[in-house]
Amino acid sequence: EAGVAQSPRYKIIEKRQSVAFWCNPISGHATLYWYQQILGQGPKLLIQFQNNGVVDDSQLPKDRFSAERLKGVDSTLKIQPAKLEDSAVYLCASSLFAGDGNTIYFGEGSWLTVV
């Protein structure tokens, strides 16, 4: 079974530039999450989708971050304009059942460095 695919794996941009990350979840997983993990910290939820609807985006900095999942499958996360503090790993995950830690799988992450 194919896992959660993410791209690009690594990205270096200057502050105030924009960047977009793509995620393809495991086939059949209706729930998709984007987490941000800053070095030395645990993953922090940015947004949770159920199919193509947003369940929770309370911690998404909406002035600069946006995410969509138009057809209920792939998702993109965009940052514009980037700040130095956005340097982190952006982890996409999907699960069969919403919030089920037994069925959630993470992608390898997209590593962002903002200089």
The answer to the question of residue 99 lying near other proteins (CB under 8 A) is: yes
- Residues 39 and 36: their CA atoms lie apart, in Å, by 10
- Which residue, 60, 34, 37, is CA-closest to 48? 34
The answer to the question of residue 79 lying near other proteins (CB under 8 A) is: no
User: Total residues contacting other proteins (rule CB under 8 A)?
Assistant: 23
The answer to the question of residue 85 lying near other proteins (CB under 8 A) is: no
Which residues inside 36-75 make contact with other proteins, applying CB under 8 A?
40-45, 48, 50, 55-56
- Which residue, 9, 55, 15, is CA-closest to 46? 55
- Which residue, 48, 100, 50, 115, is CA-closest to 77? 48
The answer to the question of residue 90 lying near other proteins (CB under 8 A) is: no
Q: How far is the CB of 75 from other proteins (least distance, A)?
A: 14
- Contacting range for other proteins; rule: CB under 8 A; set: 12-20, 65-73, 74-82, 94-102: 94-102
Give all strands of the β-sheet with 19-24 in edge-to-edge order. Answer: 5-7, 19-24, 75-79, 65-68
List residues bridging with 73 in a β-sheet. Answer: none
Whose Cβ is closer to other proteins: residue 25's or residue 107's?
A: 107
Which residues in this chain contact other proteins in the complex, by CB under 8 A? 33, 35, 40-45, 48, 50, 55-56, 91, 98-102, 104, 106-109
